[in-house]
Amino acid sequence: MNEIEDILETRRNFYAFLYRMYVEAPRRELADDLVNERFHFQELRSLDINAELSQGFRLLNEFMEKSKGREVDALHEDLVREYTRLSIGPFKLPVQPYEAWWVSGHLLGEPLVKVKAFYRKAGVAKSSEYKEPEDHIGFELKFMHYLCEEELSADTGERLKKCLTLQRRK
């Protein structure tokens, strides 16, 4: 596998990890993998040009280091509790997971309409099973994962370029 494919696979896997963290509570298997050092974020030198991504990998690896040796069920409980606090409530969420909120200070409205139009233009439609609006961070990360999958299966440079262009616009 060449370096470009390594980068594309790392990005795809990272987006898969991130979107799952926003749409479902962490599974016990994640805690088990963290405690038993079976979960690693590959740090590719090519990604060092993106300081924020490199910092994110470092923080995740540090969390894994701190998780080593913990009791799996206790770590899992902590992860689920934190997911619930950040994503469900019972009180006001500390951080809104909707793009419209960050763009306009309101949920729904024109920013959501623009996001829906962007996805429509890209040929992507939300499943009726997914209850959150299209501007939810989980949906947006899933879209980036989808584009990474498309990149890995691209059979022409033009198709690869189209995926990269859509990612930059999103």
C-alpha–C-alpha distance, residues 72 and 62, integer Å: 17
Provide φ and ψ at 103, rounded to 5°. -85, -45
pLDDT tier at 25 (50, 70, 90 boundaries)? very high
Statement: residue 129 has pLDDT above 80: yes
pLDDT at 138 over 70: yes
**pLDDT score recorded for residue 1:** 57
Residue 74 has a pLDDT of 95
Give the model's pLDDT for residue 78. 94
pTM over 0.85: no
- Residue 84's alpha-carbon distances to 72, 80, 91, 165, in angstroms, are 18, 6, 10, 34
What pLDDT does 43 receive?
Answer: 55
- Binned at pLDDT 50, 70 and 90, residue 119 comes out as confident
